[in-house]
Structure 1
Amino acid sequence: MDWRIELVPVPVSDVDASKNFYVDQVGFTADFDERVDESLRFVQLTPPGSACSVVIGPGTTDMVPGTQRIQVVVPSAAEARQHLVDHGVAASEITPLDWGTFVYFSDLDGNQWSLQELPAIPPTLPSES
């Protein structure tokens, strides 16, 4: 039986500005934008190549804007960083670690994103004795 994560809420304070940020600057696809009723607007956005989307909009989460943290795997941290910088997103310098190479950025509300390029060879974990 497969268990797939397909939708993660991201709390934002300004849905339209956040949608523009994620689509125009980060490069997500806007899949769906519907005001279901007065208390629910469902905006689904998907990172390129991802099977998992994010949802923003009033009524989609009780989380406080700026409190979400999400990690995404990318083929190249350097290329992902360059894309962000080229589109006006403040991105960290590239951080190489034993378990991958990372780039970090935040959205307009401070929700934090970690972009991880996996290492070519996974590190060996110590065996349990």
Structure 2
Amino acid sequence: MDLKLEAIVLPVSDVDRAKDFYDRLGFRLDVDQTFSDDYRLVHFTPPGSGCSILFGNGMTSAEPGSAQGLYLIVPDIEQARAEIGGRGVEVSEAFHDEGGVLFHGHEGGTVTHRGTGQKRLDGPHPERATYCSYASFTDPDGNGWVLQEITERFPGR
């Protein structure tokens, strides 16, 4: 049986502000419907994505800004940074992990994950190895997005 991730609910404090942000980011608006005074659904899909985001009034009890580590996969980290920055969104400089593994702790510094120390280094991975270069940004509420450069998928993907 196939299981496909279809949508992620984002906790936001101001629906119209979030709607403006994701529209400016270039996400496609699929639905904006008010069902009652306390229930409004806004549905966006990132370009090329099979998974969408949902937010609105009455959608979640999670604290605004508490969604972190939301990955957007891009073929070229520098091009993605330039395009997103050109849309008026503050995006970090590219970074990579000293050991070339999936970086955890996108806020910077050194972290330990399963006993493996990781150190965030400035710039894209020096060899531009697939899965190894990142950049990050947040929406107006602080929900955290990570751009990850993938040029070639691992087998089985």
Report what 2:54 is aligned to.
55
Amino acid in the other structure paired with 2:52: S
Q: Which has the higher helix share?
A: 1
Cα offset, 1:117, TM superposition: 0.7
Map 1:4-23 → 2, pairs under 5 A? 4-23=4-23
Q: For 1:35-87, what per-residue CA distance to the aligned partner results, in whole angstroms no more than 9, with x for missing partners?
A: 01122100000000001000010111111101101112112111111011111
8 Å Cα contact 1:77/1:102 also seen in 2: yes
Q: For residues 55 and 121 of structure 1, do their structure 2 counterparts lie closer, same or farther at Cα, with a shift above 3 Å needed? A: closer
| Aligned residue number for residue 33 of structure 1 | 32
Q: In the aligned structure 2, how far is the partner of 1:11 from the partner of 1:104? A: 18
* Runs of 4+ residues deviating >3 angstroms: 119-122
In 2, the alpha carbon distance for the partners of 1:116 and 1:81 equals: 11
Partner of 2:93: 93
Partner Cα separation in structure 1 for residue 76 and residue 59 of structure 2:
31
User: What is the alpha-carbon distance in structure 1 between the residues aligned to residue 95 and residue 26 of structure 2?
Assistant: 22
Structure 2 unpaired stretches of 5+? 101-130
Count of residue pairs the alignment pairs up: 121
Q: Conserved in 2, the CA contact under 8 Å of 1:66 and 1:109?
A: yes
Aligned partners of 2:96, 2:44: CA distance in 1, in Å? 28
- Percent of paired sites with the same residue: 39
**In 2, distance between residues paired with 1:16 and 1:63?**
18
Task: Identify if the C-alpha distance between structure 1 residues 13 and 2 changes in structure 2 by more than 3 Å, giving closer, same or farther.
Answer: same
